[in-house]
Amino acid sequence: MSERYATIAEQLTRWHQDHLLAFWDELKEEQRTRLLDSLSDSVDCGALDEAFRFAMATATSTKEDLNELLKPLARERYLSVAAATEAELEDLRQAGLEQIRAGRVGVILLAGGQGTRLGSTAPKGTYNVQLPSGKSLFQLQAERIRKLQQLAGGDGRIHWYIMTSEHTHTETLDYFRVNDYFGLPADQVRMFRQRSVPCVDFEGRILLDEKCKVATAPDGNGGIYRALKDEGILDELERAGVQYLHAHSVDNILIKVADPVFIGYCVRKEADCGVKVIEKVQPDEAVGVVCEVKGKYQVVEYSELSSETANRRNATDGKLTFNAGNICNHFFTASFLRRIADTQMPLHVAKKKIPYVDTATGERVKPTAPNGIKMEKFIFDVFPLAERFVALEGRREEEFSALKNADSAGIDCPSSVRGDIYRLHRKWLIKAGAVEVLDAADASFDCEISPLLSYAGEGLEMAASGQSFRCPVHLTGADERQAL
């Protein structure tokens, strides 16, 4: 212990981080071991100092004004689902199902976050938004994978890779084990951890979360690329024959996991990197837009758009010129992921209120204003590295409803995502031939259809044709308890 302590103490002193050992004399042996483990696992002072200086320089430098450089996505690299014919979409769907049937498709789920803004410290994927079924985000997505495999036929598996963080890994793994992986074979689900980065104050001094533990945060969804390599996932993809990956965030309750139309479109276009977007209809909507800049594709944050650029509209159809709203929904080839695995990703500074232990007083402080920074990488920062990039525009009401806030926010919250599911599933029933779906006075229009019964509205004719429904409606799959 003494030799290990001496080595770490020397490094901390050299980089002016020796305040991290301020409480060493009062720590018990177990706590000392925990602190040294924390410092060994997450702190490389030299690399952290370099990263901090680079991130701060980037954050404070004058950014190039992109507004005169932006071009909308080229038509030959962009398809709108709303503008395509049913025959075109069915052709792409069958192309995607063919890849699934052959076992060439995998899914990467970005699930490193906790439901902090929802009032929960549990992994966000475990959150139950109070649908009639009581299913969590993880369960809904697992069941969509099961149904899609059934639709594809054959023996092809959709390999599911779930990226967790140090804050969610153990609890996520336990959650899946307790729930028997929601009907999927355990060896079809692979969890791996993204890296964590120490939180620092505005001078680059590392913060203590406890007297015996460094304050850390996940390195952002852009940490996926390094984690895929370091955790051996890239080699596993090759061994499993997985060539195409659908990557998405955990909090979109309407996500079409491994959407065969998206997969089919990207494969047909021979894309190495692709993105699914939704149409941005309000100029001030707080979503980034996918654009072309100097011949490369990238996401431009809404805060970087001038009012003039954000409000620009096409003369032909009156739509916003820059309307390809980014929703963290991506396609990659396995070969692309291997090619860019060692790329030095840009670091983005996020000023946060970070609880910390004051090394002068020993008291734990919960700040009321931002007191430090977290350094994050963004998943879309690799778009300019793509040799062939494409985009598919989905329908917002069918593809995107984010769970981020508590109900008190009134938007992107449990009640709003429930409503979006109910509206979509009601629409499915009407399209399948239901005569009417009536509201009940005490239940609004609660209408839920299990993913095990239908992936995207298909196959409901037998249950719906000529029928009248009165909410609440809960249609389940063959291996679930039937209830109406």
Which pair of structure tokens corresponds to residue 199? 């939180």
Contacts of 45 (CB under 8 A, 6+ apart): 11, 12, 14, 15, 17
Nearest residue to 402 via CA among 417, 422, 421, 423? 417
User: Does residue 117 sit in the same domain as residue 228?
Assistant: yes
Residues in the chain: 484
* Enclosing domain of residue 188: 64-404
Give 308-332 pLDDT, tens digit per residue.
Answer: 999 999 998 899 999 999 999 999 9
Same domain as 245, residue 111: yes
pLDDT band at 481 (very low <50, low <70, confident <90, very high): very low
Q: Identify whether 286 is part of a domain.
A: yes
Task: Assess whether 210 and 71 both reside in one domain.
Answer: yes
Q: Taking the mean position of all CA atoms in its chain, how far away is CA 208?
A: 28
Same-domain pairing of 266 and 392: yes
What dihedral do alpha carbons 456, 461, 467, 471 form, nearest 10°? -20
What pLDDT band is residue 394 in, cutting at 50, 70 and 90? very high
What are 14-68's pLDDT values in tens digits? 999 999 999 999 999 999 899 988 888 777 888 888 888 888 877 766 566 778 8
Residue 118 in any domain: the answer is yes
Q: Please check whether residues 354 and 399 belong to one and the same domain.
A: yes
What does the pLDDT read at residue 61?
64
Together in a domain, 154 and 295: yes
Whether residue 170 is found in the same domain as residue 242: yes
**pLDDT tens, position by position, 141-175:** 999 999 999 999 999 999 999 999 988 999 999 99
CATH number for the domain harbouring residue 390: 3.90.550.10
C-beta of residue 135 within 8 angstroms of C-beta of residue 274: no
Q: Is residue 221 assigned to a domain?
A: yes
* Strand pairing category for 372-376 and 348-352: antiparallel
What distance lies between CA 455 and its chain's CA centroid?
20
Select from 375, 404, 433 the last residue of a domain.
Answer: 404
| Identity at 435, one-letter amino acid code | V
Query: Are residue 395 and residue 436 in the same domain, yes or no?
Result: no
Same-domain check for residues 122 and 206: yes
Cβ 329 vs Cβ 255: under 8 Å: yes
Residue 295 lies in a domain: yes
Whether the bond between 218 and the residue before it is cis, its omega within 30 degrees of 0, is: no
Cα 7 to the center of its chain, rounded Å: 38
Residue 151 and residue 85 share a domain:
yes
Same domain for 439 and 470: yes
Which pTM was predicted? 0.91
Which of the listed residues 361, 379, 404 is the one where a domain comes to its end? Answer: 404
pLDDT digits (tens, 9 = 90+) for 343-368: 988 888 888 999 999 999 999 999 99
Confidence of residue 304 (pLDDT cuts 50, 70, 90): confident
CA distance linking residue 265 with residue 78, whole number of Å? 10
For 294-300, the CB contacts below 8 A with 24+ separation are 294/69, 296/383, 296/384, 297/73, 297/383, 297/384, 297/386, 297/389, 298/380, 298/381, 298/383, 298/384, 299/326, 299/378, 299/380, 299/383, 300/66, 300/70
SS3 129: coil
Residue 38 lies in a domain: no
**Residues 165, 466: Cα–Cα separation, whole Å:** 48
Please report whether residue 59 resides in a domain.
no
| Final residue before a domain boundary, out of 349, 384, 404 | 404
Please give the tally of structural domains in the chain.
2
Q: What is the CATH number of the domain that holds 431?
A: 2.10.10
> Among all chains, which residue has been given the structure tokens 């996932």?
233
Question: Same structural domain for residues 392 and 423?
Answer: no
